[in-house]
Amino acid sequence: MECSVEALGKDLNNMRKCYSSGITKEASWRDSQLKGLRKFIMEKEEEISKALKHDLGKHQVEAFRDEVGTLMKSINIAIKSLRKWMAGQEAKLPQIALLSSAEIVPEPLGVVLIISSWNFPFGLSLEPLIGAVAAGNAVVLKPSELSPSCSSLLGSVLPTYLDNNGIKVIQGGPMVGEQLLQQRWDKIFFTGSARVGRMVMSAAVENLTPVTLELGGKCPALVDSLSASLDKKVAVKRILVAKYGACAGQACIAIDYVLVEKSFSSELVELMKIWIKEMFGDNPKASNTIARIVNEKHFSRLKSLLTDPKVKESVVSGGSMDIDNLFIEPTILLDPPLDSEIMTEEIFGPLLPIITVEKIEDSIEFINSRPKALAIYAFTKNKTLQRRIVSETSSGSVVFNDAILQYIADTLPFGGVGECGFGKYHGKFSFDNFSNHKAVARRSFYSEFWFRFPPWTLNKLQL
């Protein structure tokens, strides 16, 4: 069932009533909604794949790897862990509180809003929804208008699997988003650009609504001058798949650019060329393995990054574009100017600048002189360098010798720092994100310390 924004005021009142009735707090409701989500994904896997193909040209295997499979894993973990997550956790009180006990009790926040992005339209909508429902909230989800087939599936089919009194999906673009932001929420979970993230925060100020912002940025990958040829091959394959094989680089944690020592850069470029061919064939457009650019606006944005006269001559591989198919070839650039837009803005597409440094350790200073990254990747066996990266840089995550791996780990908090946003989710972190951890303390009526109550006398203290 689709829901219009006009009806939103009334719907929200009903949702508040539904929340106040206590039904969403019941373990059985949470469990049944998670199972409804799982049923939706299992029964509609083919439609999900088709919608991802239609909106983004994603290959079926990519669709399974990044959305269907990952979501099934997350839902199963939530179903299995639900009662454990819901249970209060015992806590200790200071000894001075004689004959007492305490616990931390997670309670839902209330009626929450999730606004999501188009590049992983199911994952970025349903991953937070899993956490919100598991935590016992009533939820309104607004997917992105830029992946219309996916949003339509979420808006018109998903609700048939869920309790629509407690969970609603609203379709629409910025105007609908703005109207939603004018309502009072108990939490807003936003995935998207920093520009809209700022609007979300200003809207949240009105009611002091807590906010999670999952934003973007430029994620660097350091590549040390690896000596073993097997290590080089593994590193190159993992870099390429993290760049071109995940929504064609339109991913917040995609590798944005590579840092490498000057002396290793030519070899790295040559290896990348070989492996681009191995993975995507002589004619990558025909291989149907690489996702398409989401729309003409983003295509033109990427085209202008690449056709900037200052940047053009740094292209060392690829560079062809086909607007009719919204296709951009996997492209490598060597040392484009650091003040060009491709090096100052998030790329969000299949263009990979390689920046050379004298010593790989110089990368740390390079990274620290720029806004904090959502993720830092480093392909190195050098333990000292690994330690330095963890302790001397700041980012949402750090991954050594792989990329994007952190997204599928329910045991790791996923989210940003600095301009990439704040608030963490995935696995139990999602449950916590949508919960208030209430402190509960209990005391016996017996036993008391005399100095707690006035009148106080210094004499007694000096005894």
Interface residues toward ligand NAD, by CB under 6 A: 115-119, 124, 142, 144-145, 173-174, 177-178, 181, 191-193, 196, 199, 214-216, 252, 346, 348, 374, 416, 421
Catalytic residue among 62, 67, 127, 214: 214
Phi, psi at 381, each rounded to 5° = -100, -5
Angle between helices 27-43 and 123-134 (to 10 degrees): 160
Residue whose CB is less far from ligand NAD, 236 or 328:
328
252 is catalytic: yes
Could you tell me what percentage of the chain is helix, strand and coil, using 3-state DSSP and rounding each to the nearest 5? 50, 20, 35
Q: How far is the CB of 396 from ligand NAD (least distance, A)?
A: 8
Q: How far is the CB of 197 from ligand NAD (least distance, A)?
A: 7
Amino acid residing at 139: V
Q: How far is the CB of 179 from ligand NAD (least distance, A)?
A: 8
Residue whose CB is less far from ligand NAD, 142 or 238:
142
DSSP result, 380-444:
---HHHHHHHHHH--EEEEEES-SSGGGG-TTS-B---GGGEE--BSTHHHHHHTEEEEEEEEE-
Q: How far is the CB of 253 from ligand NAD (least distance, A)?
A: 7
Residue whose CB is less far from ligand NAD, 188 or 241:
188
Cβ burial of 222 (10 Å; 0-12, 13-18, 19+) is buried
> What is the sign of the dihedral through the CA atoms of 335, 336, 338 and 341?
negative
CA-based diameter of the chain, in Å?
91
Catalytic residue among 252, 261, 346, 420: 252
Q: How far is the CB of 440 from ligand NAD (least distance, A)?
A: 33
Residue whose CB is less far from ligand NAD, 168 or 232:
168
Structure tokens belonging to residue 460: 């007694």
Residue whose CB is less far from ligand NAD, 6 or 358:
6
Contacts of 383 (CB under 8 A, 6+ apart): none
214 is catalytic: yes
Question: What number of other Cβ atoms are within 10 A of residue 95's Cβ?
Answer: 7
b/e string for 335-356 if b means 16 or more Cβ within 10 A?
ebeeebebbeebbbbbbbbbbb
Closest to 235 measured CA to CA, from 264, 205, 262, 197: 264
Residue whose CB is less far from ligand NAD, 139 or 252:
252
Q: How far is the CB of 425 from ligand NAD (least distance, A)?
A: 9
Q: How far is the CB of 118 from ligand NAD (least distance, A)?
A: 5
Question: What number of other Cβ atoms are within 10 A of residue 382's Cβ?
Answer: 16
Residue whose CB is less far from ligand NAD, 107 or 145:
145
Residue whose CB is less far from ligand NAD, 181 or 271:
181
Q: How far is the CB of 142 from ligand NAD (least distance, A)?
A: 6
> What is the sign of the dihedral through the CA atoms of 268, 273, 277 and 279?
positive
- Long-range CB pairs of 306-309 (<8 Å, 24+ gap) are 306/331, 306/333, 306/342, 306/351, 308/340, 308/341, 308/342
Contacts of 312 (CB under 8 A, 6+ apart): 306
Structure tokens belonging to residue 130: 């899993």
- Long-range CB pairs of 148-152 (<8 Å, 24+ gap) are 148/55, 149/50, 149/51, 149/54, 149/55, 150/48, 150/51, 150/52, 150/55, 150/118, 150/121, 150/122, 151/121, 152/51
Q: How far is the CB of 242 from ligand NAD (least distance, A)?
A: 14
Residue whose CB is less far from ligand NAD, 36 or 416:
416
Task: Kindly list the catalytic residues.
Answer: 214, 252
